Amino acid sequence: AKTWILKKYFEGFPKESNFELREVDLPEPKDGEVLVEALYISLDPYQRGFTERFIKEGDVQYGGQVAKVIQSKNKAFPVGCNVFVHSGWRTHTLSDGSDLTKIPSNWPKDLPLSLALGAIGMPGLTALYGLEEVLQIKPSETVLVNAAAGAVGAVVGQICKIKGCKVVGSAGSDAKVAYLKELGFDEAFNYKTVSSLEEALKAASPDGYDCYFENVAGPFFTAALSQMKKEGRIAVCGAIAVYNDTTPQTCPYPHKTMLVNHIKMEGFSVWKWKHKDEESLQRLLTWMKEGKLKAKEVVTVGFENTPAAFLRMLRGNDIGKHIVKV
Ligand code: NDP
């Protein structure tokens, strides 16, 4: 069995030398335990920030994976059963079952299991909960989302369309903007090439925005705040533009704009609605089967390439959810 451990905490943008590949003995399951083998490893921006908060140098790097049960002494998880487990970058995981989530039994045969790490997994749930629980979007409202071509943002836009909203997305390349149009976004623009963010936001929705699904932070936030409608709602899902900063950014004070326009802003984490996950995953799965939800993936092959794939994901130039096919 193999694991990638965090050798040294990140300083600024992570490097491959932050990680070290280790060979470990294949563990034997005892009564009540199972041994699972990784099929796909998930790479997500949150792993950058969580690493420092939740693991120590020398620990296995943080992250989720889809795995197959290869040995079982636990009737609830027979050999061959596919599961999601949050056990980090390792090829094999020993578990008593308490940290395993079964992939839905009605998972269509022609649907890649890797989607359980993307649109029909944590990023898809993040989009759904941010829109339904935090923003509580209503039909005909106008929703803004940034990092819109990412794993979360692309699902945000598609759910907005399912629910009868107008959705505007921003992304960092013309190819991403074309992809957003393909997905059905009403308006999309390349935030790197527009001369003014405020003007681009205004042109995309002259009446402003009821809701804003915030993934990025930085200057985009300041510009978007100025374009919110009165009583507008903001869901703070992420702040990817500042995750690698070594000194905290000074944020222009948003108070006056928030005060004058009665803006409500709420940060959230997908784990808060864990009790709804099973039912929510079924809804995402149904939308995918109906063709209402589409997803792209960026697949890196080989467990040994996991750190390189992680850095590539953090650079943010590709379109789709990053995964490693073990
Ligand atoms: P992806 O890796 O799929 O996409 C991230 C995109 O962010 C990039 O493709 C890039 O697109 C954009 N981006 C903007 N600024 C930067 C920057 N400075 N460096 C790198 N990329 C940048 O991410 P996800 O869709 O999985 O995640 C989106 C956000 O949601 C993240 O902030 C993440 O931390 C957060 N999140 C929060 C969760 C929660 O529970 N609150 C759960 C899951 C994710 P572009 O070219 O458009 O700039």
Q: Where exactly are the structural domains of the chain? A: 2-118+295-325, 122-271
Instruction: Give pLDDT, residue 54.
Output: 86
The residues of the chain scoring below 70 in pLDDT are 250-251
Q: What separation in Å is there between the alpha carbon of 46 and the centre of ligand 1?
A: 8
pLDDT in the model for residue 201 = 98
Classify domain 122-271 by CATH number: 3.40.50.720
Separation of alpha carbons 124 and 180, rounded Å: 16
Tokens 């935030």 sit at which residue? 191
Tell how far the Cα of 171 is from the centroid of ligand 1, in angstroms.
10
Which pLDDT score, from 0 to 100, does residue 254 have? 81
The rounded Å distance from CA 45 to ligand 1 centre is 6
Nearest CA to ligand 1 atom 35: 238
Residue 164 to residues 3, 157, 160, 291, 292, Cα–Cα distance (Å): 45, 11, 6, 16, 12
How many CA atoms within 13 Å lie on the side-chain side of 111?
24
**For residues 164 and 231, is the Cβ–Cβ distance under 8 A?**
no
- How far apart (Å, rounded) are the C-alpha atoms in residues 264 and 232? 6
User: How far is CA 217 from each of CA 171, 180, 238, 251, 301, rounded to the nearest angstrom?
Assistant: 13, 20, 7, 9, 32
Same fold, 2-118+295-325 and 122-271: no
Q: Residues lining ligand 1, judged by CB closer than 6 Å? A: 44-46, 123, 126, 147, 149-153, 171-173, 176, 215-216, 237-241, 268-270, 313, 316, 321
CATH for the stretch 2-118+295-325: 3.90.180.10
DSSP 154: H
- The ipTM (two decimal places) reads 0.98
Task: Calculate how far, in angstroms, residue 149's C-alpha sits from the geometric centre of ligand 1.
Answer: 9
Q: What is the pLDDT of residue 276?
A: 97
Burial of 84 (0-12, 13-18, 19+ CB in 10 A): buried
| Number of neighbouring beta carbons within 10 Å of residue 208 | 16
Atom of ligand 1 nearest to the CA of 46: 34
Q: What is the amino acid identity at position 74?
A: N
